[in-house]
C-alpha cells in the first residue's frame, strides 16, 4: 500500500511536466502554421532557410488535410485553418483529460 502511494506521488510531477511539454509543443506548432499563412501572403524567397524549415515542419500535417478538401473549386486553402482548429481541439480535449489524470494521481 505504501509503495502504491509513493508511485502516485512520483507520477504527479511527471504527468504535470508532460502536460506542459505537450501544450508548449502544440503552441509552437500552431504559431508555425500561422507564420506559414503569413508567409503565403508576402511570397517569400523559397530558397530562404527559415522558409524551407517552416514548410518542412508544417507540410506533413497540412498535406493530408489538403487531400480531403476541394481546393481547386474554391481557390482558398482552408487546410491551415483546419489544422489550427485541430490543434485547439487537441489542446482542449486531450490536455483536459491529462489534467483529470493529474487530479486522480494527487
- Cα–Cα distance for residue pair 101/106, rounded to 1 Å: 9
Residue-level pLDDT at 7 = 54
Mean pLDDT by 10 residues, the chain (106 residues): 52 80 93 93 90 95 86 75 93 83 74
pTM (2 decimals)? 0.78
- Cα–Cα distance for residue pair 6/83, rounded to 1 Å: 40
Residue-level pLDDT at 72 = 63
Amino acid at each position: 500500500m505504501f509503495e502504491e502511494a509513493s508511485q502516485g506521488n512520483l507520477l504527479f510531477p511527471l504527468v504535470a511536466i508532460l502536460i506542459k511539454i505537450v501544450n508548449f509543443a502544440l503552441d509552437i506548432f500552431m504559431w508555425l502554421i500561422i507564420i506559414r499563412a503569413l508567409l503565403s501572403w508576402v511570397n517569400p524567397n523559397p530558397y530562404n532557410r527559415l522558409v524551407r524549415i517552416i514548410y518542412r515542419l508544417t507540410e506533413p500535417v497540412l498535406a493530408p488535410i489538403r487531400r480531403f478538401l476541394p481546393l481547386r473549386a474554391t481557390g482558398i486553402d482552408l487546410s491551415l485553418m483546419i489544422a489550427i482548429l485541430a490543434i485547439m481541439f487537441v489542446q482542449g480535449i486531450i490536455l483536459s483529460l491529462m489534467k483529470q489524470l493529474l487530479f486522480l494521481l494527487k
